[in-house]
Structure 1
């Protein structure tokens, strides 16, 4: 009985978690769409309220609308006119107290993480943490900068993010000598699977490459 229950759980658990994540994502986008619809009701004529309410009840419409909005926004900000408006928008937000602190911090982090030319979270490595002889997988986020770079040689040190298990969104930020960081050939996706599964889902072995930051 126990063996059959576990076998059934292994079949349904991945599917249930996948459906739950998809429903959460759809609900999130529908919530954002609902907020935009509520804002539209406040500015549009009274006769349009029934139409907006009918649109809000269509399941999944928020996903399509938000995807279209992101696509149009991306197309707009990649041309000269859009770049000018984006600079004006950033300048406006940087002049609002409190808002400028939050917005500038989030924008700086997001620009660093999602930049196609950046090295943040582009490479998985092996480091000794939290003590010598104890190893864990981490991700290279760059090199020490600012005031820290005056105390630590940026050419011989790396900035490392050590995620926790099974939730990799929390973790620890370390700056280690390059010589103490072992590069891994596994991709970031494979490393995340290895971390989240607590070592159960291991990627196939491969020859470790040189650190990407050494090639720059």
Structure 2
């Protein structure tokens, strides 16, 4: 067999072409499948509640993918607009007061609402920063999403110990939706410049997809 790197066998070229095609096609197919699945999931939830005489599919005689998702987005936006005026605020306040007085519903509603308010509010910094902590032991580092400083009873207990603790989420690889909530001393967290999206790609790929990095410019003396 020749050692000349320019002479590549037909089998090697065929394998390289297949791998190149796989790298091109697989992300497109998987992304398309995920989007299509989400659209069908949204349609299956919304379409059954659309009155037949308001459903354009009854007149067109064919299915419209994404119709349910579009109606859901419009409906949620209208609810948001109504909730911003006085009458809408009164309705929301009255509904919340009823839910807060219902024994089994109250803890579920309050917990879910608090999560959405914390994650979606514009000035929230929760899970928008990425860092490193020593885990599971000294000299070994794990990537975490930084939530917020400890509050309430936890903050009081940590203050008694003279520690300023920060809540972080430690996701596993390659399924970052599950993980551990840890409280780590603030000075033990190494902040990173990468975005949460880049960190998620790194986790999902098991370290194979590394985000681009530009060295910080040295401050001018």
TM category, shorter: 0.7 to 0.9
Q: What is the aligned length?
A: 198
Q: CA deviation at 1:51?
A: 6.0
Q: Judging changes above 3 Å, is the alpha-carbon distance between structure 1 residues 84 and 51 closer, same or farther for their aligned structure 2 residues? A: closer
User: Is 1:188–2:196 an aligned residue pair?
Assistant: yes
Matched with 1:54 is 58
Q: Cα–Cα, structure 1 residues 76 and 155, in superposed 2: closer, same or farther, change >3 Å?
A: farther
Query: Does residue 140 in structure 1 map to residue 153 in structure 2?
Result: no
Q: Note if contact 1:121-1:141 (Cα within 8 Å) is conserved in structure 2.
A: yes
Q: 2:34 maps to what in 1?
A: 21
Question: Which string of whole-angstrom CA distances, capped at 9 and with x for unpartnered residues, describes residues 148-206 of structure 1?
Answer: 22221397211111111111111111101111100111112222222222222222234
1:85 aligns with 2:98: no
Residue 74 (str. 1) matches residue 80 (str. 2)? yes
Secondary structure at 1:116 match in 2: coil
1:21-53 deviation digits (Å, cap 9, x = unpaired): 11121012102213423xx5xxxxxxxx57657
Moved over 4 A (4+): 49-53
TM-score, scaled relative to structure 2: 0.80
Give the superposed CA RMSD: 2.3
Partner of 1:211: none
Residue 127 in structure 1 maps to residue 140 in structure 2: no
Compared CA separation, residues 176 and 207, structure 1 to 2 (3 A): farther
Q: After superposition, where does 1:148-167 map in structure 2 within 5 Å?
A: 148-153=154-159, 156-167=164-175
1:160–1:207 CA distance, 2 compared to 1 (3 A)? farther
Is 1:170 the counterpart of 2:178? The answer is yes
Shift of 1:99: 2.0
Q: Distance in 2 between matches of 1:163 and 1:34?
A: 35
Aligned residue for 2:24? 11
Q: Deviations over 1:87-146 (max 9, x none)?
A: 112112222332222221111111111111222112111111122211121111111122
Relative to structure 1, is the Cα distance of residues 114 and 29 closer, same or farther in structure 2, using a 3 angstrom cutoff? same
Q: Which runs of 5+ in 2 are unaligned?
A: 1-13, 217-221
Q: Is residue 185–residue 207 contact of structure 1 (8 Å, CA) maintained in 2?
A: no
| Greater Rg over alpha carbons, structure | 2
Cα distance in 2 between the residues matched to 1:72 and 1:50:
21
Instruction: Give the match's secondary structure for 2:173.
Output: coil
